[in-house]
Structure 1
Amino acid sequence: MRNRRCSGAMILFVSLLLPTIARGQEQPSTSQPSAEALAKHLEEMEREIKELRAQVKVLTGEKAAAETAPAASGASSAVVQNSLVSGTQPAAAPSATPSLASILGPTTLSGFVDVYYGQNFNNPESQNNGLRYFDQGANQFGLNLMELVIDKTPDPSNSRTGYHVALGYGQAMNAVNASEPKAGLGFDQYLKEAYFSYLAPVGKGLQFDVGKFVTPAGAEVIETKDNWNYSRGVLFSYAIPYFHFGMRTKYTFNDKYALTGFFINGWNNVVDNNTGKTYGVNFAWNPNKKFGIAQTYMAGPEENGLNHNVRQLSDTVFTYTPTARLSFMLNGDYGRGDRYVTDTEANTFSHAVHWTGVAGYAKYALAQNMAIAGRYEYYDDADGYTLGTLTTTHVNEFTATFERIIGHHIISRFEFRRDMSNQPLFYKGSNPVTDQNTLTAGLVMTFNSGEGGK
Structure 2
Amino acid sequence: MKSNFLLTLGLQLLAAAATAQTTADSAAAATPPSPLTTYGFVDGYYGYDFQHAATNQRPGFLYSHNRQNEFTVNNAVIGLRYDNGQARGALGLHAGTYVAANYAAEDPVLRHVYEAYAGFRPFQKAWLDLGIFASHIGFESAVSKDNWTLTRSLMAENSPYYESGARFTFEASPKLTLTGLVLNGWQNIRENNQAKALGTQLQWRPTDKLLVNSSGFYGNEQPQDSVRRRRYFHDFYVSYAATPRLSLALVFDVGTQEQAARGSKADTWHSGAAFVRYKLAAKWTAAARAEYYAADHGVIISSIIPAPAAPDFRVQAASLNLDYAPATNVVFRVEGRAFRAREPFLTDRDGRPTDNYGNLTSSIALSF
TM-score, normalized by length of structure 1?
0.69
**How far does the alpha carbon of each residue in 1:386-435 deviate from its partner, in whole angstroms, 9 at most, with x for none?**
23272111011101000110122211101110011234333321423221
Separation in structure 2 between the aligned mates of residue 307 and residue 368 of structure 1, nearest angstrom: 55
Correspondence for 2:27: none
Let me know the Cα RMSD of the aligned residues. 2.7
Over residues 307-326 of structure 1, what are the superposed CA-to-partner deviations in whole Å (9 max), with x where a residue is unaligned? 84211111101111111111
SS state at 1:128 partner: coil
For the residue of structure 1 that corresponds to 2:298, the secondary structure is coil
Paired residue for 1:173? 99
Per-residue CA deviations over 1:308-359 (Å, capped at 9, x if unaligned) read: 4211111101111111111111111111124369xxxxxx993321111111
Change (3 A) 1:267 1:213: same
Residue 377 (structure 1) aligns with = 291
Alpha-carbon distance between aligned partners in 2 of 1:104 and 1:173, rounded to the nearest angstrom: 33
Kindly indicate whether the alpha-carbon contact (under 8 Å) linking 1:340 and 1:385 is maintained by their aligned counterparts in 2. no
Write out aligned runs for 1:306-325 (5 A): 308-325=228-245
* Alignment partners' CA distance in 1, 2:33 and 2:208: 33
Written as runs of structure 1 = structure 2, the 5 A alignment for 1:18-417 is 105-122=34-51, 124-130=53-59, 131-155=61-85, 160-180=86-106, 182=107, 185-186=108-109, 188-202=110-124, 205-238=125-158, 240-305=159-224, 308-339=228-259, 350-388=264-302, 390-417=310-337
Q: 1:312 to 1:123 in 2, by over 3 A?
A: closer
Distance 2:326 2:156 in 1: 28
Secondary structure of 1:403's aligned partner: strand
The amino acid that maps onto 2:252 is G
Greater fraction helix:
1
Does 1:428 pair with 2:348?
yes
Counterpart code for 1:387: I
Which structure shows the bigger proportion of residues in strand conformation? 2
Q: 1:234 to 1:153 in 2, by over 3 A?
A: same
Secondary structure of 1:424's counterpart equals coil
Structure 1: runs of 5 or more not aligned: 1-60, 70-94, 96-101, 342-347, 448-454
1:446 aligns with 2:355: no
Deviations 1:276-304 (A, max 9, x none): 11112111111112222110111111111
**Partner secondary structure for residue 111 of structure 2:** helix
- Separation in structure 2 between the aligned mates of residue 420 and residue 117 of structure 1, nearest angstrom: 23
SS in 2 for 1:367: coil
Give the Å deviation of 1:124: 3.0
Q: Secondary structure at the match of 2:361?
A: strand
Give, in whole Å, the separation in 2 of the partners of 1:283 and 1:195: 21
Residue-by-residue CA offset, 1:9-31 (whole Å, 9 max, x unaligned): xxxxxxxxxxxxxxxxxxxxxxx
Q: Matched residues in 1 for 2:205 and 2:71: separation?
A: 40
Q: 1:338 to 1:169 in 2, by over 3 A?
A: farther
Question: Could you list the runs of 5+ residues in structure 2 that have no partner in the other structure?
Answer: 14-23, 25-30, 304-309
Aligned pair count reads 338
**1:227 Cα deviation after fit:** 0.2
Partner AA of 1:191 in structure 2: V
Distance 2:350 2:37 in 1: 48
Q: C-alpha displacement at 1:103, in angstroms? A: 12
Q: Give every structure 1 segment of 4 or more consecutive aligned residues whose post-TM-superposition deviation is greater than 6 Å.
A: none
Deviations along 1:4-54, whole A, 9 cap, x unmatched? xxxxxxxxxxxxxxxxxxxxxxxxxxxxxxxxxxxxxxxxxxxxxxxxxxx
Q: Is the 1:129–1:426 Cα contact (8 Å) retained in structure 2? A: no
- The separation in 2 between residues aligned to 1:340 and 1:190, in whole angstroms, is 34
Amino acid at match of 1:122: Q
- Superposed displacement of residue 168, structure 1: 0.6
| Higher mean C-alpha deviation, range 406-415 or range 125-134 | 125-134
Identity %: 26
Q: Which amino acid aligns with 1:354?
A: T
